[in-house]
Amino acid sequence: QKEVEQDPGPLSVPEGAIVSLNCTYSNSAFQYFMWYRQYSRKGPELLMYTYSSGNKEDGRFTAQVDKSSKYISLFIRDSQPSDSATYLCAPHMNAGNMLTFGGGTRLMVKP
């Protein structure tokens, strides 16, 4: 079993749709949960992160962590074509640790 797993997609949705991106992990010691967005031919950029369980909202984006089931979600409301990218989840134990990335989910939002 991989330490961090994501459905590779691609996930294709119409503009304005609500998108749900998911990630599972195996290491119960993970405490920080980051989501990175990677546009084609660019490096990943941090989208948002949460600490421990619960929800965090930032504009159209909501990150949700369920540590009991080792399940992480990223929701995008009112999706836009500019949201078309690969979304990488990266849980880790503490701020000093290296990140372990999932394989990423490719999202395509069609106008």
Partner 1 sequence: EAGVAQSPRYKIIEKRQSVAFWCNPISGHATLYWYQQILGQGPKLLIQFQNNGVVDDSQLPKDRFSAERLKGVDSTLKIQPAKLEDSAVYLCASRGGAGELFFGEGSRLTVL
Residues making contact with partner 1 (CB under 8 A): 4, 6, 8, 32, 34, 36, 41-46, 49, 88, 92, 94-96, 98-104
Measured CA to CA, the distance from residue 58 to residue 61 in angstroms comes to 5
Least Å from the CB of residue 99 to partner 1: 6
Least Å from the CB of residue 80 to partner 1: 23
Measured CA to CA, the distance from residue 7 to residue 63 in angstroms comes to 17
Least Å from the CB of residue 6 to partner 1: 8
Contact 10, 108 (CB under 8 A): yes
Minimum CB distance to partner 1 smaller for 14 or for 96: 96
Look up residue 12 and give its two tokens. 């294709």
Measured CA to CA, the distance from residue 88 to residue 102 in angstroms comes to 6
Measured CA to CA, the distance from residue 18 to residue 75 in angstroms comes to 7
Minimum CB distance to partner 1 smaller for 49 or for 75: 49
Minimum CB distance to partner 1 smaller for 17 or for 32: 32
Minimum CB distance to partner 1 smaller for 5 or for 17: 5
